[in-house]
């Protein structure tokens, strides 16, 4: 009897516990109004547009995966620190892209498509001295004629990043924007 209960208990554990290494999916929407860090252990899904308020810093850890639902964007009016490493890049991609963060939307095997989500908008009021973008991958973004990354009248540096499979320009500049673009690859 005890042996049967042990086997039953072990079977329940195997079925009920999540698989090792399965990342939690954390949904984000609305305005970020306090300094915030998005960790690398989770998949961060933008379910509705996200705005980082002026004076606020969004830090994204190396290796983090940020997925966007259809047409959604990330607008930075405060500051962003998204600094990956060559071996641990930060990925911004479509919610349908299973190659990063796994099948986080539960639709079975799928990949993204150009224009699946809006863009990363770096606003005119961004705090450049507190912002850094390096070693990121931006996939399947762009809507209309705006780029996967839209830089509005600021001089932020974007370094060592890959922007791919977008529906329009890799990077769009507006107004007096003169960013430092160094070591980036834009394709597709």
Q: Which residues of 54-87 are buried (b: 16+ CB within 10 A; e: fewer)?
A: eebbbbbbbebbbbbbeebbbbbbbbbebbbeee
Mean pLDDT by 10 residues, the chain (188 residues): 49 42 87 98 97 98 98 97 98 96 89 95 92 98 89 95 95 92 94
Name the pTM for this structure.
Answer: 0.87
pLDDT of residue 2: 57
Three-state SS at 135: coil
Q: Which residues contact 153 (CB under 8 A, 6 or more apart)?
A: 124, 174, 175, 176, 177
pLDDT of residue 13: 40
pLDDT of residue 1: 53
> What is the distance between the alpha carbons of residues 69 and 76, in angstroms, rounded to a whole number?
18
Q: DSSP secondary-structure letter at 11?
A: H
Q: Tell how strand 180-182 and strand 157-159 pair up.
A: parallel
């Amino acid at each position: 009897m005890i042996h049967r209960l042990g086997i039953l208990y072990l079977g329940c554990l195997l079925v009920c516990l999540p698989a090792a290494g399965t990342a939690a999916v954390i949904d984000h929407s609305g305005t970020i109004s306090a300094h915030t860090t998005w960790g690398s252990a989770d998949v961060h899904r933008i379910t509705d547009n996200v705005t980082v308020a002026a004076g606020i810093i969004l830090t994204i850890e190396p290796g983090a995966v940020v997925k966007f639902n259809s047409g959604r964007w990330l607008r930075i009016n405060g500051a962003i620190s998204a600094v990956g490493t060559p071996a641990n890049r930060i990925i911004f991609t479509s919610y349908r892209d299973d190659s990063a963060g796994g099948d986080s939307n539960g639709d079975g095997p799928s990949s993204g498509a150009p224009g699946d989500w809006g863009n990363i908008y770096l606003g005119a009021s961004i705090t450049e001295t507190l912002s850094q973008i390096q070693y990121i991958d931006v996939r399947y973004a762009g809507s209309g004629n705006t780029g996967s990354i839209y830089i509005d009248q600021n001089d932020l540096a974007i370094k060592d990043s890959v922007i791919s499979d977008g529906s329009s320009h890799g990077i769009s500049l507006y107004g007096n924007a003169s960013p430092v673009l160094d070591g980036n690859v834009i394709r597709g």
